Amino acid sequence: MAVVDDPPDSSHVLELDSEVPDIAVVRQWARTSLPSLHEDDLLDVQLVVTELVSNVYDHGRFPARLRLHRTGAEDGVEVVVEDASATPPALQPSSPDSVRGRGLVLVDQLCERWGVTPQETGKAVWAVVPCTATP
């Protein structure tokens, strides 16, 4: 993983390599990238980051990157994970016996909206996490 230096007030980018990262390191990177976020909002962002990054390692192709960006009035955070696979993710039904498959269900419940944008090479899976907690 490599952090990309960004100009102030822009996106924060983390390049993902094919070696599966310690997800705690990715979550800590999100925390340090969004220092002014209220703890409740930060936990939601970290959960969405965890699910979308995990999907890259389970189903995507490299190169890949994670980008965090505060939305317009800073009332939300856009989480974008880009990878080289054109296959879009899909919500899957799960049962209480299912061991996996709830990630996008969590993203769908936590986010204002989410989707997939095809790219020249691969796709970008994005989600907008509302940040409405008061400090």
The token pair at 34 is: 């969004």
Which pLDDT does position 85 carry in this prediction?
Answer: 95
Long-range contacts formed by 2-5: CB under 8 A, 24+ apart: 3/29, 4/65
Give the mean model confidence (pLDDT) for residues 113-118.
96
Which pLDDT does position 1 carry in this prediction?
Answer: 55
Are 129 and 48 in contact by the 8 Å Cβ rule? The answer is: yes
17-68: pLDDT as tens digits: 988 888 999 999 999 999 989 999 999 999 999 999 999 998 889 999 999 9
Q: Is 69 helix (H, G, I), strand (E, B) or coil?
A: strand
Q: Is 126 helix (H, G, I), strand (E, B) or coil?
A: strand
Cα dihedral across residues 69, 14, 7, 32: positive or negative? positive
Task: Please state, rounded to an integer, the average pLDDT across all residues of the chain.
Answer: 87
Distance separating alpha carbons of residues 94 and 100, to the nearest angstrom:
8
Which pLDDT does position 8 carry in this prediction?
Answer: 46
Q: Is the pLDDT of residue 2 over 60?
A: no
Q: What is this structure's pTM?
A: 0.87
Are 61 and 85 in contact by the 8 Å Cβ rule? The answer is: yes
Distance separating alpha carbons of residues 86 and 88, to the nearest angstrom:
6
Which architecture, in CATH terms, is 2-130? 2-Layer Sandwich (3.30)
